[in-house]
Amino acid sequence: MRRSMKAIQIRSIGGPEVLEAADLPVPVPQAGEVRVRALAIGVGKPDVLLRTGVYRWMPPLPAVPGAEMSGRVEAVGAGVESIVPGQYVLVYSLGGRCYAEQACVPATAVTPLPDSIDPVDAVSIPNYQVAHALLTEAARGQRSHTVYINGAAGGIGCAVIQLCRRAGIRVIAGAGSKAKCAFASRVGASDTVDYGSGDPVAQVLELTGGAGVDLVLDHLVGPDFTAGLKMLAPFGMIVSFNMLRGWPDKDLFRELRANLERSPAVRCFTMHSYDRDPASRRRLMAETVGLFAAKEVSPPVYRRLPLAQARQAHEMLDAREVLGKLVLEP
């Protein structure tokens, strides 16, 4: 067995330049862990949050980023009985470790997959799990006939579009350019809003005849976040699942009261809410894997790059040019 492996690690936080190729020892699975040899590795915004040091659950540095990997089990640690060497699996590790030829992760972060799911498609499963959770768990009790999502050309945005269309929900996709809006339409969006060319609230209200939407899925937030309350239908909800543009300028509670006629709601969401509820996490994952196995969803892949080009992948993310999913291959 080789004693070293290729990996990408960060020793300090910063831009894409902090992603360094490294030869690291092949990890040995400890009790309760599984070692997986990568077939494909997903690249996403959580990796950028870790790289820039703003991720709330930062691992100690130096660290190997990467939350998504499909591959084959190489070895298991003591006490692992449900997963065996040779098994085809998905790794979804919110603590990183996946930008590597092999990774040791807790067995709880590993999901067996049917061989019918392509390894490159498989690394998008976590995006669809998040989208599934946003629509069914974060929006619990919300009957959504119309959904608006911003950043719709990304991995989670594409997943939301496809899941909404599957459920018969009208989905309005917000994106920052005409090209991204056209891409969202090809993925399946009912309508699009180019917020790079005008006020998204006015555009959404025009598309809905002034009625507004039942659910807004927002991973940008930013100074104008509270303006989004005006695009809600009565009893509508905004779910914030990231805040890539920073904090709102206006006081949220004051703005909620200012829009009282809508009885509006705002919820913040993270998959870490399931850290103490592993049964629900497994259920969501099983339901999502079932969609992939049945070919009911089809994740669009933007580029497939060698693992050694992780820095270039992050440059694409930072330039906001990615349409769909970025994938690294060892």
Q: Determine, yes or no, domain membership for 25.
A: yes
Q: For the chain, give the number of residues.
A: 330
292 vs 58, more confident: 292
Has residue 74 got a pLDDT over 80? yes
C-alpha–C-alpha distance, residues 129 and 218, integer Å: 16
Q: Are residues 323 and 259 in the same domain?
A: no
Q: Determine, yes or no, domain membership for 24.
A: yes
SS3 23: strand
Q: Are residues 115 and 134 in the same domain?
A: no
Q: Determine, yes or no, domain membership for 148.
A: yes
Q: Are residues 189 and 251 in the same domain?
A: yes
Residue 209 is predicted with a pLDDT of 96
Has residue 66 got a pLDDT over 60? yes
Q: Are residues 267 and 132 in the same domain?
A: yes
Confidence category of residue 99, pLDDT binned at 50, 70, 90: very high
Q: Determine, yes or no, domain membership for 231.
A: yes
Q: Are residues 114 and 155 in the same domain?
A: no
Q: Are residues 35 and 63 in the same domain?
A: yes
Q: Which of 101, 22, 15 is nearest to 63 (CA)?
A: 22
Could you read off the pLDDT of 181-231 as tens digits, one per residue? 999 999 999 999 999 888 999 999 999 999 999 999 999 999 999 999 999
Residue 1 is predicted with a pLDDT of 57
Judge whether 147 and 169 are in contact, CB under 8 Å: yes
Range of the domain at 178: 127-272
Q: Determine, yes or no, domain membership for 20.
A: yes
CA dihedral 67, 72, 78, 83 (to 10 degrees): 100
Give the chain's domain count. Answer: 2
Q: Which of 225, 255, 272 is the last residue of a domain?
A: 272
| pTM, rounded to two decimals | 0.93
Question: Can you read off the two tokens belonging to residue 139?
Answer: 């929006």
DSSP letter at 123 equals T
The residues near 257 (Cβ < 8 Å, ≥ 6 apart) are none
3-state helix, strand, coil in the chain (%, to 5): 35, 30, 40
Could you read off the pLDDT of 123-136 as tens digits, one per residue? 999 999 999 999 99
Q: Are residues 117 and 194 in the same domain?
A: no
Residue 119 is part of a domain; what is its CATH number? 3.90.180.10
C-alpha–C-alpha distance, residues 133 and 140, integer Å: 9
Q: Determine, yes or no, domain membership for 242.
A: yes
Question: Can you read off the two tokens belonging to residue 301?
Answer: 């892949």
Q: Are residues 162 and 211 in the same domain?
A: yes
Residue 234 is part of a domain; what is its CATH number? 3.40.50.720
Q: Are residues 46 and 137 in the same domain?
A: no
C-alpha–C-alpha distance, residues 3 and 26, integer Å: 6
C-alpha–C-alpha distance, residues 57 and 100, integer Å: 20
Q: Are residues 148 and 33 in the same domain?
A: no
* Angle made by CA atoms 207, 321, 181, in degrees to the nearest 5: 15
Q: Determine, yes or no, domain membership for 53.
A: yes
Please classify residue 154 by burial: count the beta carbons closer than 10 Å to its beta carbon, then call 0-12 exposed, 13-18 middle and 19+ buried: buried
Q: Are residues 86 and 200 in the same domain?
A: no
Q: Determine, yes or no, domain membership for 203.
A: yes
Q: Are residues 266 and 139 in the same domain?
A: yes
Separation in Å, CA 171 to CA 176, 218, 224, 314: 16, 13, 22, 28
Could you read off the pLDDT of 15-65 as tens digits, one per residue? 999 999 999 999 999 999 999 999 999 999 889 999 999 888 888 999 999
